[in-house]
Structure 1
């Protein structure tokens, strides 16, 4: 009986212990699940914030450097992501769960950098302090991306079996972040947008109260503090505010532009004015775009004043009935056609300029239309008697070192050809410009017109060039000019005391008589007509006609200018001393150095030790190829699709979102592939897809421009999504190969991939400017082909018969 009692007690006790253990396991499992859900939510919020910050940085750097430096933004993000992969193993485990907190601190560093850090672009080359401050700002900028990637790696390491889930969460959050960034820029300015992103990031700290409340309170305080971007004291915005009589009337903004409208009663509008005008020119509005670009708009000029400008001369000489004005936002052409009572259509790509016109309400009998010139010209069938264009280069802006990353698809051979297609049989194209000394803009315009018409002999009898002291009109007739037309123009030039630079049959003594300039402009025209190719070759500047493949009309830099540019650093009172190219080289050197310090050296040298195994060189080669290939696709496509999509920031957002989504889908797809046969086929499939997308854009460009915006967008992005899908396949393949060969070597592979991605983003942009957009894109075709060939031989020499692409688990986890 006692034995039975003892046995029953033992059995009962065992049952209690067993049930207690089950309950404990359930409790542990529930806590682990809660922790996983909480960390998934944190990753989702951080992913949103990271891409929203990237959108805001796009605009902040545009204010700072004067152009949309898209490759810099991408390289900074990649620098952070690459550094996290190589430095992750050096971080203590106790710090890794606090990554969301450090991410928000990174956003604070960015805010401090742009609001407090002094960086004067006019004295950049003069003082070492500004160069050091720019380096500090670059380091501040990549910190959030570093912690975003670090948290991803931490979760992949902690929950290796949940890799697909976290990957998808990060992908969805990143895509939403692109939208959030654009929406914030629509609602508030760039600095406040950054603060709002901080506020969104605080949501990730809801489970960490001791960090959440202080940062949430700080965010609320910053929202109500009038923070402003730290810009140069010599910028137009600051300089105009120094004059007491000037008054800031309006501020217009959207995600792609910022426009300040000043009343400047003592700034007189006198562009293209005749010396016979004896009255005081009218006062003006000063329009300042993005704090750095100033444009003068006359304030209700009289008809007499407008009649004494060059802009009225072609209207009186040719008596057009229908006029089209494209991107002439300084207003003279509008007032000229208004006073001449001519039916006018005005096109501007800037919604903010249209808002300005609607606000000040000049007495025009026509309204401005917002449209991108190339899309407008492709979508309408209207014919005009005269079309006005304005060269977007200011007075005295051309000098050794003149460099531009601003795309302009109107002032290309294809763009001007589309303009001529909308002229009537005897229509006239009128291009206004500042001639510069030496006359480089004039030579580039001549070469563009010559390329459009097929040779100098075809353009000689269609061309008239007139100037006053420092301004000129280039008039090109679709039909050869008649003697009567030349006579009428001559009378107008004589009455208003303008100068001829050129007209058919001009003698040297008739050119540039009033405003003596040693006939430099006339000689430039004659020299070009006598030997076009030789003139372009001998020029100290880049004056060849731009094409859609190389849409940089404002780019005049040649490598032979390097010595002169370097010698004059800090001697020109212009942003970055006018040496924009050297500034980009400086950025490239800084980014390369940081990539070496934070990615390549830790990843390849510090942890490389003496790892030797079969296929090591092949893995490194494959990592270099896939790192470079991705950027050689992304940067040229962003530049190319700007012509179809529109503003650079919208193009950047759309391309980035599509790449995120479909590259992620491509990565997820190859994880499920069990056979290596597909990867053998990609040796030719991937290059063919890249070539096919190029051919699609090239041959269907006019059709894409001609259809409405939303349909054009979808028609472009559907084939691009295939390119993005395949772009996401190489790295998972490479990751699995590295882990099969030697898991310790994966960080070397990651380091090479990250380093090449960072450098290639900047180099591909420079290559697009120097050699054309097609050059880096075409370079990606053999690079990806080479990658898949390398994979083929690596896989062929592997022991397993197939390459099963699975998540790259940490060492030990895969065996478990």
Structure 2
């Protein structure tokens, strides 16, 4: 086998390892950091891949001489960087959150920089076959995405990192053999260092860094509470911990956490039945039980619980005499731990069924009708996708989700949603009112289907599929006052507002209103909730499937995204400076000026190709997300199929031997036409009637076409015969892609995901213009 053929296998294996490393790193960050900080750290770190490729291109002569040192050190760099990250919260916790994030970024960027250098070296020394390497790269990435599904569900996350480092160490030794650069002293030295670091790394714990969103960190740092982890499980969804807490009065409790957040106390049905005092305490402190007390026998035959947590919703429905209870939970490890440690609630009752599925998808997929749909604080605050801003629970609170829930209810069915705060109640109410507005129902009329209660900590919104009667509301309103569920946000329709506005003996003005003033005034048709949202200091606008960021209450671009924009701007300025100097191309012949001019055009096309490709990819994953039973696992499978299609498309370029720019233009024109037809007509039609297999099949043609343009550009660049041109294009394409993945979130936050598709198609149109312009310039210079 010739060296270049060996490199096809090597690049396949290295890329697969890199994708596994990136996905595993995302799961690690999901536990250690808040989701928005995890997004920031990983986005900047992956920039290191493109920057490393450009650094190699800029200093290729140096790296070519030192490559045996660099390659063999990458596994050691990975282990040391990860070890420092795990030790970071302990070593520098006194420095504060900002410095912790800074060091996280540094430690995670270094491995990607090194991998980027190595990628560029392999592509550059095989420049004539770079298009085949690119195909191997894509196929390797697809395989890495698929393998991640299985290993993250079955292997410890630290063992995965150690296995990857060991595998890469062996691969790099093979590279040194191929290049005749094998040095026993160097290999043995790094083998000892890497093995020693791996042993230390394997004995480290995975801590939670500073994060206000991590309930587990706060509770375990409470000196008055003793805590111990009963069992932990990693999977593709994240880390699930079952923790026992012991209190000063001698009592104890068990709670389950997902990625250190979303703490939920275990509620045992058998224990509640056997201990009346505990039954009274648990039920009395759960306002979600309130609406069940008023239902007639025919109004509580079936219920669906989305995200059952430790079992409080199940307990409320069970003791509320609901005949049959279904609970949908997306995390399999969560279900397994609950069935093991809380069997009376999760497995031993004949009228309780636990379903492993994403709740919104389950509602859409099955046509069963429910008398009740419960959601109780379903917020994990950790990512469930590759972009780290797409929380699973976001899709539970959109206008389209409300329509799905209402369609799944019986005629007198009810939604019972327990929230955290005023803001969440307001935003969900805004979303519900927009859903009703679509059907021509005014805010005032729609609020006759709603009442809101609160015990001061957990506001609950109850929505009936049809209007409540005055008699129903009067009884519930009176009982809510008796049960002290009038603390905080509080509203009932048909009941007259009571106000107190008086001066106390201390000359203080005292004002009080029975109902929330804003909601009452909207119900009284004084103004619409849309007007409230427009004038609010926080983001209370309704959320849609196209922009499902329910928990983003900040108006405009979030602060952490602003930081990312500054970094993008800095890299852009750096690239502009490099471009003015023709990127430092080397190894050119006597026609160097003409070649530099052509390469400058290629470089811009390369950035735009990477940019447009990732925008299309982001939109594809978003639009298919709601059709996935298990979003995290299915997105990895979708990524595998998408990259597989790209890889096959790249392989097709071996039959094209000339007129590369003309073919790029033709293929991109096909991408624009087919993608527009696909996303605006075919997929919206199939989502309502076809299976997921048909949806995936419908994206195969665009996926294949998307894999063709860049390898054709590599073939065109190889003809320039520069000793570092291919490496530059790789880096520029990578940076364009990572920039697009970050910008897609900003665009979606501001304008919805459809804006990313429109921008992608416009970017592809600009590439057609550039390729045609460059092609004409080449013809003129040749003549």
Query: How far 1:771 sits from its partner (Å)?
Result: 1.4
The corresponding residue for 1:631 is 614
The answer to whether the 8 Å contact 1:387/1:428 transfers is yes
- When residues 410 and 590 of structure 1 are mapped into structure 2, their CA distance, relative to the original with a 3 A threshold, is same
Q: Give the counterpart of 1:555 among 547, 552, 557.
A: 552
Query: How far 1:459 sits from its partner (Å)?
Result: 0.8
Structure 2 residue 300 is matched with structure 1 residue 315: no
CA–CA distance in structure 2, aligned partners of residues 783 and 247 of structure 1: 53
- When residues 668 and 460 of structure 1 are mapped into structure 2, their CA distance, relative to the original with a 3 A threshold, is same
Structure 2 residue 254 is matched with structure 1 residue 285: yes
The answer to whether the 8 Å contact 2:58/2:584 transfers is no
CA–CA distance in structure 2, aligned partners of residues 771 and 35 of structure 1: 49
CA–CA distance in structure 1, aligned partners of residues 778 and 150 of structure 2: 50
The corresponding residue for 1:431 is 417
The corresponding residue for 2:81 is 110
The answer to whether the 8 Å contact 1:390/1:433 transfers is yes
CA–CA distance in structure 2, aligned partners of residues 600 and 625 of structure 1: 14
The answer to whether the 8 Å contact 1:195/1:219 transfers is no
Task: Report SS of the residue matched to 1:541.
Answer: coil
1:254-653 matches, within 5 Å, as 254-266=235-247, 284-298=253-267, 300-301=271-272, 302-308=278-284, 309-319=286-296, 320-343=300-323, 344-364=325-345, 365=349, 366-392=352-378, 405-407=390-392, 408-436=394-422, 440-441=426-427, 443-448=429-434, 450-451=436-437, 454=440, 455-499=442-486, 501-509=490-498, 518-519=512-513, 522-529=516-523, 530-559=527-556, 581-590=558-567, 593=570, 601-602=577-578, 605=581, 607-608=583-584, 611=593, 618-619=601-602, 621-645=604-628, 649-653=632-636
For residues 450-472 of structure 1, what are the alpha-carbon distances to aligned partners after superposition, in whole Å with 9 as ceiling and x for unaligned?
Answer: 44654314412211112222222
The answer to whether the 8 Å contact 1:693/1:719 transfers is yes
Q: More deviation in 632-641 or 233-242?
A: 233-242
For residues 657-706 of structure 1, what are the alpha-carbon distances to aligned partners after superposition, in whole Å with 9 as ceiling and x for unaligned?
Answer: 334332233233234225756555446422111112312332322335xx
The answer to whether the 8 Å contact 1:53/1:194 transfers is yes
The corresponding residue for 2:119 is 149
The answer to whether the 8 Å contact 1:350/1:370 transfers is yes
Task: Report SS of the residue matched to 1:263.
Answer: strand
For residues 291-321 of structure 1, what are the alpha-carbon distances to aligned partners after superposition, in whole Å with 9 as ceiling and x for unaligned?
Answer: 2443334464443234424222211112322
- When residues 480 and 80 of structure 1 are mapped into structure 2, their CA distance, relative to the original with a 3 A threshold, is same
- When residues 345 and 649 of structure 1 are mapped into structure 2, their CA distance, relative to the original with a 3 A threshold, is closer
The answer to whether the 8 Å contact 1:182/1:255 transfers is yes
The corresponding residue for 2:588 is none
CA–CA distance in structure 2, aligned partners of residues 445 and 176 of structure 1: 40
Query: How far 1:194 sits from its partner (Å)?
Result: 0.8
Structure 2 residue 672 is matched with structure 1 residue 691: no
Query: How far 1:87 sits from its partner (Å)?
Result: 2.4
Query: How far 1:797 sits from its partner (Å)?
Result: 4.1
CA–CA distance in structure 1, aligned partners of residues 528 and 340 of structure 2: 50
- When residues 537 and 505 of structure 1 are mapped into structure 2, their CA distance, relative to the original with a 3 A threshold, is same
Query: How far 1:595 sits from its partner (Å)?
Result: 6.8
CA–CA distance in structure 2, aligned partners of residues 121 and 557 of structure 1: 30
The answer to whether the 8 Å contact 2:135/2:650 transfers is no
Task: Report SS of the residue matched to 2:773.
Answer: helix
- When residues 171 and 433 of structure 1 are mapped into structure 2, their CA distance, relative to the original with a 3 A threshold, is closer
The answer to whether the 8 Å contact 1:202/1:212 transfers is no
CA–CA distance in structure 2, aligned partners of residues 181 and 291 of structure 1: 22
Using structure 2 for the length normalisation, give the TM-score. Answer: 0.81
Structure number with greater Rg is 1
- When residues 150 and 210 of structure 1 are mapped into structure 2, their CA distance, relative to the original with a 3 A threshold, is farther
Task: Report SS of the residue matched to 1:253.
Answer: strand
Task: Report SS of the residue matched to 1:251.
Answer: strand
- When residues 391 and 304 of structure 1 are mapped into structure 2, their CA distance, relative to the original with a 3 A threshold, is closer
The corresponding residue for 1:673 is 656
CA–CA distance in structure 1, aligned partners of residues 572 and 193 of structure 2: 32
Q: Give the counterpart of 1:798 among 754, 778, 781.
A: 778
Query: How far 1:646 sits from its partner (Å)?
Result: 5.1
Query: How far 1:796 sits from its partner (Å)?
Result: 3.5
1:67-216 matches, within 5 Å, as 67=35, 73=42, 76-77=45-46, 79-85=48-54, 87-88=56-57, 90-91=59-60, 92=62, 93-118=64-89, 129-157=99-127, 160=128, 162-163=129-130, 166-204=133-171, 205=173, 207=177, 208=182, 209-210=184-185, 212-213=187-188
The answer to whether the 8 Å contact 1:502/1:522 transfers is yes
Q: Note the residue ranges of structure 2 that are not aligned, 5 or more in a row.
A: 273-277, 383-387, 502-509, 586-591
The corresponding residue for 1:18 is none
- When residues 304 and 117 of structure 1 are mapped into structure 2, their CA distance, relative to the original with a 3 A threshold, is closer
CA–CA distance in structure 1, aligned partners of residues 747 and 399 of structure 2: 20
Matched residue count: 717
Task: Report SS of the residue matched to 1:470.
Answer: coil
Query: How far 1:121 sits from its partner (Å)?
Result: 11
For residues 377-433 of structure 1, what are the alpha-carbon distances to aligned partners after superposition, in whole Å with 9 as ceiling and x for unaligned?
Answer: 1222221212112344599x9xxxxx9652522211111111111111111111111
- When residues 404 and 795 of structure 1 are mapped into structure 2, their CA distance, relative to the original with a 3 A threshold, is closer
- When residues 60 and 307 of structure 1 are mapped into structure 2, their CA distance, relative to the original with a 3 A threshold, is closer
Q: More deviation in 672-681 or 187-196?
A: 672-681
Q: Note the residue ranges of structure 1 that are not aligned, 5 or more in a row.
A: 1-32, 269-279, 398-402, 563-580, 803-816
The corresponding residue for 2:507 is none
CA–CA distance in structure 2, aligned partners of residues 734 and 168 of structure 1: 13
Task: Report SS of the residue matched to 2:317.
Answer: helix
Task: Report SS of the residue matched to 1:658.
Answer: helix
CA–CA distance in structure 2, aligned partners of residues 604 and 660 of structure 1: 34
Q: More deviation in 778-787 or 644-653?
A: 644-653
Task: Report SS of the residue matched to 2:328.
Answer: strand
The answer to whether the 8 Å contact 1:44/1:173 transfers is yes
CA–CA distance in structure 1, aligned partners of residues 422 and 695 of structure 2: 39
The answer to whether the 8 Å contact 1:75/1:759 transfers is no
The answer to whether the 8 Å contact 1:405/1:552 transfers is yes
Task: Report SS of the residue matched to 2:226.
Answer: coil
Task: Report SS of the residue matched to 2:498.
Answer: helix
Task: Report SS of the residue matched to 2:495.
Answer: coil
Task: Report SS of the residue matched to 2:76.
Answer: helix
CA–CA distance in structure 2, aligned partners of residues 584 and 544 of structure 1: 20
Query: How far 1:226 sits from its partner (Å)?
Result: 1.5
The corresponding residue for 1:250 is 231
The answer to whether the 8 Å contact 1:120/1:233 transfers is no
Q: CA RMSD in A?
A: 3.8
CA–CA distance in structure 2, aligned partners of residues 354 and 666 of structure 1: 40
Structure 2 residue 734 is matched with structure 1 residue 734: no
CA–CA distance in structure 1, aligned partners of residues 360 and 97 of structure 2: 43
CA–CA distance in structure 1, aligned partners of residues 549 and 738 of structure 2: 24
CA–CA distance in structure 1, aligned partners of residues 311 and 122 of structure 2: 53
Task: Report SS of the residue matched to 1:508.
Answer: coil
The answer to whether the 8 Å contact 2:305/2:373 transfers is yes
Q: More deviation in 307-316 or 764-773?
A: 307-316
